[in-house]
Amino acid sequence: MPERAVAVIVTYRRTDLLRRCVEAVRGQARPPDLVLVVDNDHLAKTALQPDARLEIVETGENLGPAGGYELGFALALERDATKVWTVDDDVVPEPECLERLLEASNGEDVLIPLQRKPGGMRGHPPSWNGTLFDAAVIRRVGYPRGDLFFWAEDTEYFSRVRAAGIAVRPVLDATVLHLNPEDRPRGSARDWRLYYEVRNGLYVRLRMRRLSRKGTWRAARGALGKLGAILLLEPHKLRSLRLWVAGVRDFLRGRLGKVVRPEDWVD
């Protein structure tokens, strides 16, 4: 039975990036059998023209990357995917990327391409940036957790994959460019993301994994490191402190879901 590869692209208000991403995805040497664009706003149809191999799914509200991929995985399996290729809207895969990932697959596995960034960084971080999932993996592990909304939902998902004993392998000759235009320079102002970075970082490390000294130390270091940077290096300290405190508070309460709304954020 031939592979049926479905690309899942989650997007939110970045139409220029989305066009470039979709062009690269559809221009693969071995193109996906279907491209699913999960639109967390309502702008994708102004940038793209749906056809038999390009489907735009409007969520009706901003579900975040976590909810977007939760929905995208479910829809991909409903559309008979044997492989699900996750591609964030700021990712540009090289033309042979999908073909090489498919060639490297041994069946029930998860394959991560080499990720390049404009500044020269390279690596294979576990993320949605071009990773290929076998459909059987998704059926075993389940979907990403939409209640995390933003941040660490990919980390949590890969933790479940590894805990199930499923191979997660880098593929050296499959490459994507991760543009990441919203990467925050050190010392610059924080925004709504800080709340989720704090809350979800603590939740994933301390509630979703087996407690250990190493994990507890990393969780504390991450949260306190952000606090120190806010106090010592960054502007808008009061606003950032409120977000940091809210993130810690909601972690302690076990409150997940969409709390700080990006669409209402005024910088």
Tens digits of residue pLDDT in 65-119: 999 999 999 999 999 999 999 999 999 999 999 999 999 999 999 999 999 999 8
CA distances in angstroms from 111 to 48, 83, 85, listed in the order given: 28, 11, 10
Report all structural domains of the chain as residue ranges with CATH numbers, in order of start.
5-178 (3.90.550.60), 193-264 (no CATH)
Which tens digits make up the pLDDT trace of 239-259? 999 999 999 999 999 999 999
Confidence bin at 20 (pLDDT 50/70/90): very high
Write down the pLDDT at residue 215.
84
Q: List pLDDT tens digits, range 1-12.
A: 789 999 999 999
Q: 175-202 pLDDT, tens per residue?
A: 999 999 888 888 999 999 999 999 999 9
Question: In the prediction, which pLDDT does 184 show?
Answer: 85
Asked whether the predicted pLDDT for residue 162 surpasses 90, the reply is yes
> Is pLDDT at 172 greater than 80 in this prediction?
yes
| 54 pLDDT more than 90 | yes
Q: What is the structure's pLDDT at 111?
A: 98
CA-atom Rg of the chain in angstroms: 19
Cα 5 from Cα 135, distance rounded (Å): 10
What's the pLDDT at 108? 97
In the chain, the percentage of residues whose pLDDT exceeds 70 is: 100
pLDDT at residue 267 is higher than 80: no
Looking up tokens 């009061």, which residue turns up? 238
Q: Rounded to whole angstroms, how far apart are CA atoms 135 and 118? A: 31
Q: Which two tokens stand for residue 34?
A: 């279907």
The pLDDT value recorded for residue 183 is 82
Interaxial angle between packed helices 153-163 and 193-206, expressed in degrees from 0 to 180 and rounded to the nearest 10: 20
pLDDT at 266 exceeding the cut of 90:
no
Structure tokens at 48: 């793209």
Residue 139 reports pLDDT greater than 80: yes
